[in-house]
Amino acid sequence: MNHEEFADNHFIRTIIEDDLKNGKYQSIITRFPPEPNGYLHIGHAKSICLNFGLAHIYNGQCNLRFDDTNPEKESDEYVRSIMEDVQWLGFKWAGEPHYASDYFEQLYQYAEHLIEQGLAYVDELNADEMREYRGTLTEAGKESPYRNRTVTENLDLFRRMRAGEFEDGSKTLRLKIDMASGNLNMRDPVIYRIRRVHHHRTGDQWCIYPMYDYTHCLSDAIEHITHSICTLEFEAHRPLYDWVIEHVDSPSTPHQYEFSRLELLYSITSKRKLNQLVQQQYVSGWDDPRMPTISGMRRRGYTPAGLRLFAKRVGVSKSENVVDMDVLEGAIREDLEHTAPRMMAVLRPLKVEITNFDESKIQGKTAAYHPEKPEFGERELKLAPTIYIEADDFAIDPPKGWKRLVAGGEVRLRHSYVMKCEEVVQDSNGNITALKCSIDYDTLGKNPEDRKVKGVIHWLPENTAVKAQVRLYDRLFTEPRPDAVRGEDGEYRDFIEFLNPESQTVITAFVEPIAQTLQPESHWQFERLGYFVTDRFDHKENAIVFNHTVTLRDTWKKK
């Protein structure tokens, strides 16, 4: 991995370079801080490449930290999946993974310090009352009737909250900042709430948990993060981030920088909505190849290098980052072009009988597995009395410009002879069931001398073709922004309405015999058809399963 793999000069790199040049820092420390409440998605992949990439470029370090302050939605399953995704993308975090829960006692002590300074108080307003007191963007909020409790009373109540004396939700700890602030995040935000929920790491040790905004900045400070990078929706939270750091005895003073989050068209990146797809079984799981999760894209056949290339191409800025799916697929395609060996496969087979087949005249031809990679090896392809071709490569009434097989017409079989269709076999309903064709024995590796044959099609001999299950994929949604479509009443429509019923098709196809020897996650190009990968979990020697990764070229815009 080299520096050129990451996004070119952008505003965060400029800031870091100035900080290093001016001696503000001797080295940088970044962090990737996911909440372990779901699987990572394409937006996280961009963030991973940014945070780990900056550490790589400037010889710093990047921490992996789990912001695990909401035990109701968190689990070890998500922790494991996140670590696996980061490593699969090609990155290593500094030391052991960090957890916000590592700092629970320290965060609690900071909270007591804030109470002692008269900067935090125990409140008893319920959620509805708190919302009412908070005010609006145009109206100042009202102070809670509990805001002016004494330090002694607040300390006593907070310690009793920790001891489990009060019911869930009955009390909170709030910062005492400014109920008239123009920034709603500064209107006495809650920093602790009572929740009797088993935590995936601390068990039942705690019944009060710190809020994200309070925890995140202090975790950064404890880890001496120099550049805390997050997406733009946290820009309005930065004053609170700075306020907390300023008013505790912070071990360091990190600074938050924001960049625009990635929006991928024909997809969604809301963990809640992705979880809904999983729980309601619209997809087979978080790693369904149609999902924009890293584990789903991995199973689809996307590669780490391809995803890193995509992250570089979309760049880092504060402007809107809406990206068409073809940009992602183009990056994957570019990587696979150079790394995936070739084989022939027939997805929708049409049987062809070679009417003039003569074993004594048939010659095989050696074909490389990759035209530019001799180290990938080669195999011999030899015609048989019966072969399979793609049904789509034959037409009785061809459209204008057709360069494949027609009745009475000729076409070249890839790596083999020129073949002519002599007869079309149809059933009583007019469906084509087979073709009878002849070959020109003088055309192996050369063109006919007396005529021009334009088209080339792929094929497989019946006697060696191997059956495989092939899963074909299309966009998961029919709308570019499925969660941003409004109805006539102005309300957002349910994104589930826009699920593409044809996003997955499972077929039985034929592939070359080498498929029987492949390991899971083997990437191949099916010649003329696209890139495919053996399924990570379902592919076995006696049960070949390929997932369609991406087409050979962008075909979506033509639809």
- Catalytically active residues, by annotation: 35, 261, 271
In the beta sheet, which residues pair with residue 63? 31
Rg (CA), the chain: 31
Report how far apart the first and last C-alpha atoms of the chain are (Å, whole number).
37
234 three-class SS: helix
Alpha carbon distance 368, 360 (integer Å) = 25
Alpha carbon distance 305, 2 (integer Å) = 12
Contact residues for 259 (Cβ-Cβ < 8 A; gap 6+) = 12, 50, 229, 230, 231, 232, 316, 317, 318
In contact, 303 and 335? CB cutoff 8 Å:
yes
The residue behind tokens 């008269």 is 118
In the beta sheet, which residues pair with residue 228? 256
Burial 120-132 (b: 16+ CB within 10 A, else e): bbbbebeeeebee
259 three-class SS: strand
Contact residues for 186 (Cβ-Cβ < 8 A; gap 6+) = 177, 178, 239, 240, 243
Environment class of 22 (CB within 10 Å of its CB; exposed 0-12, middle 13-18, buried 19+): exposed
Q: Position 559: which residue type?
A: K
Sheet hosting strand 345-346, strand order edge to edge:
342-343, 523-526, 530-534, 545-550, 466-473, 504-511, 345-346
Handedness of CA 309, 310, 314, 316 (dihedral sign): negative
The candidate with the shortest Cα–Cα distance to 509, out of 370, 344, 385, is 344
Alpha carbon distance 242, 29 (integer Å) = 18
Environment class of 276 (CB within 10 Å of its CB; exposed 0-12, middle 13-18, buried 19+): middle
DSSP assignments along 360-429, one per residue: TT---EEEESSTT-GGG-EEEE---SEEEEEGGGEESSPPTT--SEETT-EEEETTS-EEEEEEEEE-TT
262 three-class SS: strand
